[in-house]
Structure 1
Amino acid sequence: MSIPLNILDLVSIREGSTACEAIANSMSTAALADELGYSRLWFAEHHNTMGLAASSTALLISQAASVTERIRVGSGGVMLPNHAPLMVAEQYGTLANIHGDRIDLGLGRAPGTDGMTAQALSGSSAEPQSFAQNIYDLQGWFSERGQAYSTPIKSAVSAGTNVPIWVLGSTMNGASIAGQLGLPFSLASHFAPDQIDAAIKVYRDSFTPDAPTAQIDKPYVMAGINVMVADTDAEAQREFTPVRQMFADIGRGRSRQLQPPVEPSEFAAQGMGENPMLTISAVGSPDTATEQMAEFVERTGADELITVTYAYDTEVGQRSLRLLADAWF
């Protein structure tokens, strides 16, 4: 039986488009994902990035939950150093009160931006011990008592919501934190492939089911993978070029909106090979892509996959979701 499939949405803004249009397209995709049987829809948090409209994660989650009925909606994730933990508890407690038991809270230690912007956003420490303590306090605010463990401050709106928490990470540090806290781990393998196997091993080896913060009794991994599915391998490779251009821009320090697809041969002509950050990708026809995904599941032992699809044309992205759902579920 296939493992659950999820979607990570960065709300990309294509060249010549606006953030308003990107958000509207994202909500249309959310409704489709709900219909197709995807298990979770998570929104990332990025700042000072002209090609992405995923900044106010809680607002995107609330809107997506309003246009869906079944799918779990959450953060992939809240970059906790950018926020005051109490505010996160109040926001996600409010979401749970409005939308019921469909809200996930994924937490990361990275700022999701550059150093200058991170300083402007700073709400808490990214130091591992502080990060762990903040998670413990968040659980207190989500508990029946509605009170953090390190302070007498209470939160009525989050009390009793018990919003499930995930730890996000791309390195062994994040994996170790997730394991020691006894929490599920979401691995950012879709852009950080270098430490996948080591990070998963560290997570499983360090997993502590009797930790005060533990929410599960055994390790549970969700791994990220870039996906583009089309009718043919050649078509999928062409539609995958916008993300290849985006990562090439990152390497050059250039910030642009999502570019239209080009012929893959143009990359070779410009002296650009495959980007190692995109190693974990499934690109091709339904048979090709699902075979690549199955191999990745076999390698990692992942309990769930979270797919990332950048498409210049919204219809192309949504067709990819349909083709994948038909082939996987």
Structure 2
Amino acid sequence: MSVPLSILDLVSIPEGSTAREGIAASMESARLADRLGYKRLWFAEHHNTPNLASSATSLLIAQAASVTEKIRVGSGGVMLPNHAPLMVAEQYGTIANMYGDRIDLGLGRAPGTDGMTAQALSRSSAEPQAFAQHIYDLQGWFGPDGTAHSTSILSSASLGTEVPIWVLGSTVNGASIAGQLGLPFSLASHFAPDQIDQAIQVYRESFSTEAPTARLEKPYVMAGINVMVADTDAEAQREFTTIQQMFLDLRAGRSRKIQPPVDPQALAGQLGGAAAMLDVSAVGSPATVKAQLDEFVERTDADELITVTYAFDPAVRNRSLELLAELWF
């Protein structure tokens, strides 16, 4: 069962590399994804971490759009509580005016960082009602008159761009908000697998075409999945230890850059909760990954998959993208 494939990029910084090098590698992958036929490339906002350079999401999106031609480019997502909604409208409207109708705006309510950093970034409320109002205002700023629904403030930079808005979430709460707003839902199943089936069910059951924010005639689910494709299962499993180490670091409160792969046996018995967080993954040779992706699509009935691939060596990531495209498209 084939559905569109997209890519989520957090702009990783391998040990021994810099943010500059991580961004350059990310842009090279963007060019490759564009040539290979992936549907969209999204960047995820994160802060106060040494292993990711995806903090200034709008700048990365603009740069990726400048080096690609066909692929949709967007945020997966902008953590709206960290931003003033008007500024988001102006930034993404500007990008849409520069690069046309291939810009997406995915919005989340989580801060994408620790509590102290979230407080330093905080610009708007994460409460569901405020979040919904901000989305409605953003739609107004992207609309034909360029003004929000709760204020007469004009955003000439975004006027008429009609940038499509997605709601991101990892639980039934986020799913319910997306459904009630009548907007497409991107499910963070690649790191939060516990409520996948319930969240998708809640989203579809709560979906409304009557909400003032509604932009779809029926529900649309994009589900996240970790992917590593290599020529053999053993090679892919070894490369996958890079993200396993990253999640072990996360759970242990250890702060370091992306680590090189190790023998999978070296991590045996250590993964525990980290393994559970990475439960939604497709890892192996092309045939193995194809079967795993098919199984996940059948389980979720997702309309689209967004894949996440971490690798210490950017060439390994690009090879995985190539093999994935060959087996899927």
SS in 2 for 1:240: helix
Aligned partner of 1:176 in structure 2 is 176
Which secondary structure does the structure 1 equivalent of 2:125 belong to?
Answer: coil
**Residue 138, structure 1, aligned to residue 102, structure 2:** no
- CA offset at residue 78 of structure 1? 0.3
Shift of 1:290: 1.2
What's the TM-score, normalizing by structure 1? 0.99
Alignment of 1:120-131 (within 5 A): 120-131=120-131
The count of residues paired between Structure 1 and Structure 2 equals 328
Separation in 1, partners of 2:102, 2:270? 46
CA contact (8 A) 2:180 2:208 kept: yes
Please list, as runs of the form range in 1=range in 2, the aligned pairs for 1:273-288 lying within 5 A after superposition. 273=272, 275-288=275-288
Q: What are the equivalent positions in structure 2 for 1:136-175 lying under 5 Å apart? A: 136-175=136-175
Q: Secondary structure at the match of 1:125?
A: coil
**Residue aligned with 1:275, SS:** helix
Q: Percent identity?
A: 75
Q: Does 1:27 align with 2:27?
A: yes
Cα RMSD, aligned residues only: 0.8
Q: How does 1:170-249 map to 2 (within 5 A)?
A: 170-249=170-249
Residue 275 of structure 1 and its aligned partner are, at CA, apart by: 1.2
1:95, distance to aligned residue in structure 2 (A): 0.4
SS of equivalent to 2:153: coil
Letter in 2 for 1:255: S
- Please name the residue that 2:15 is paired with: 15
Q: After TM superposition, which residue ranges in structure 1, 4 or more long, deviate above 2 angstroms?
A: 270-274
Q: Which amino acid aligns with 1:151?
A: T
Q: Within the alignment, does 1:4 sit opposite 2:4 as a pair?
A: yes
Distance in 1 between residues matched to 2:27 and 2:3, nearest whole Å:
25
Matches of 2:309 and 2:290, distance apart in 1: 14
1:271: how far off? 3.9
In structure 2, the gaps of 5 or more residues are none
In structure 2, what residue type is equivalent to 1:89? A
Code of the aligned partner of 1:174: G
Alpha-carbon distance in structure 1 between the residues aligned to 2:275 and 2:251: 9
Q: Which letter maps to 2:287?
A: D
Output the CA distance in 2 between the equivalents of 1:283 and 1:256.
Answer: 24
- Relative to the length of structure 2, the TM-score reads 0.99
Residue in structure 1 matched with residue 328 of structure 2 by the alignment: 328
- Which AA in structure 2 matches 1:232? T
* Contact 2:244-2:271 at 8 Å conserved across structures: no
Aligned to 2:118: 118
The structural deviation recorded for 1:272 is 3.6
Q: Deviations over 1:30-88 (max 9, x none)?
A: 00000000000000000001100000000000000000000000000000000000000
* Cα distance between partner residues in 2 of 1:175 and 1:261: 35
Partner of 2:84: 84
Match of 2:60 in 1: 60
Q: CA deviation at 1:175?
A: 0.3
Aligned to 1:250: 250
Q: What secondary structure sits across from 1:65 in the alignment?
A: helix
- Structure 1 position 211, deviation (Å): 1.1
Q: How far is the alpha carbon of 1:96 from its aligned partner?
A: 0.4
Q: Which amino acid aligns with 1:150?
A: S
Partner of residue 37, structure 1: 37
State how far apart, in whole Å, the 2-side matches of 1:127 and 1:210 are.
22
Corresponding residue of 2:307: 307
Alpha-carbon distance, 1:145 to partner: 1.0
Distance 2:287 2:215 in 1: 36
Question: Distance in 1 between the 2:270 and 2:197 partners?
Answer: 30
Aligned-partner Cα distance in 1 for 2:255–2:292 = 30
